[in-house]
Amino acid sequence: MAKSGFAALIGRPNVGKSTLMNNIIGMKIAITSPKPQTTRNRIRTVYTEEKGQIVFLDTPGMHSAKNKLGDYMVAVAEHTLKDVDVILYLVEARDQIHPEDKRIIEKLKRTDTPVILIINKIDKIKKDEVFGVIAAYSKEHDFAEIVPVSALKGTNKKELIDTIFEYLPEGMPFYDEDTVTDQPEKQIAAEMVREAALYLLSDEIPHGIAVAIDTMTETPRLVTIEATIICERDSHKGIIIGKGGSMLKQIGIRARGQIEKMLGCHVNLKLFVKVKKDWRDSDYLVKNFGYDRKEL
């Protein structure tokens, strides 16, 4: 009988969780960025093959929260550890364990759910150095399995998938075989705009932005989207717009290309910018922009 179950993907910010999930699914669902704390919500994606179905829950990076939004992100990550069949704990290929990773490992010690340690970015170190990383983490916790991978290049992807299936119960699929995510297209489109901004803007701004899709209308050949980028400072608004609207235009061009790939048609993307001062510290605004702890 086929197997079917849930796998939580956890780890520090910027270790490659979204890249790994996108690679396994075979399409871009979660946004990626070289900047930390890119993922803010729990993203559910579905991988189906002859062996069965894996429902992946990609979470925000586990970190020390500094505001209401950070509190929400940590709550999402920790809540996801409950009621899953296996935990996929992603770390970078370094034998010196980060202090945040040590805190995560302490939390993992308190769960009875099997934990697969995934050592990512092995393409950035020598092959024999991987053994040192495995040894360092093995001293910290008795992991059910350890699988070295390169999320970017897909190295050991099949081995990882086969290992995950070993820890899933027998059962019928939760979703039909054509389903790859439970995320609505509006939400993915908003995240693709935010990803473009993360890529193009200077470091101090991206953490203070959110994106709201105001309207999304479709015709057979064209989808028209109006979206608003929300920032925390008037000075940030000027940077996001850029001289003569140049930066906002670049963000729009980059985001539109990704959205068109997802939707498979031409997109007319109109972007606006609004200031909501210190929105990350407002319970109301954090909830209003889609980060609601009641949904956990």
CATH number of domain containing 259? 3.30.300.20
pLDDT beneath 70, residues of the chain: 27-43, 59-82, 182, 203-207, 280, 282-296
The pLDDT, as a whole number, for residue 14 is 80
Same domain? 129 vs 10: yes
Count of domains for the chain: 2
The pLDDT, as a whole number, for residue 7 is 93
CATH number of domain containing 25? 3.40.50.300
- Within 13 Å of residue 134, how many CA atoms lie on the same side as its CB? 13
Same domain? 152 vs 195: no
- Within 13 Å of residue 235, how many CA atoms lie on the same side as its CB? 3
Q: Which of 275, 56, 70, 23 is nearest to 168 (CA)?
A: 56
Same domain? 193 vs 151: no
- Of 103, 131, 166, which residue constitutes the final position of a domain? 166
Residue reference for tokens 């992991």: 143
The pLDDT, as a whole number, for residue 256 is 94
The token pair at 27 is: 């399409």
Task: Give the H/E segment covering residue 287.
Answer: helix 283-288
Same domain? 129 vs 263: no
Same domain? 103 vs 219: no
Residue 171, in any domain of the structure: no
The token pair at 18 is: 């979204």
Residue 178, in any domain of the structure: no
Q: Residue 52 belongs to what domain range?
A: 3-166
The pLDDT, as a whole number, for residue 190 is 87
pTM: 0.64
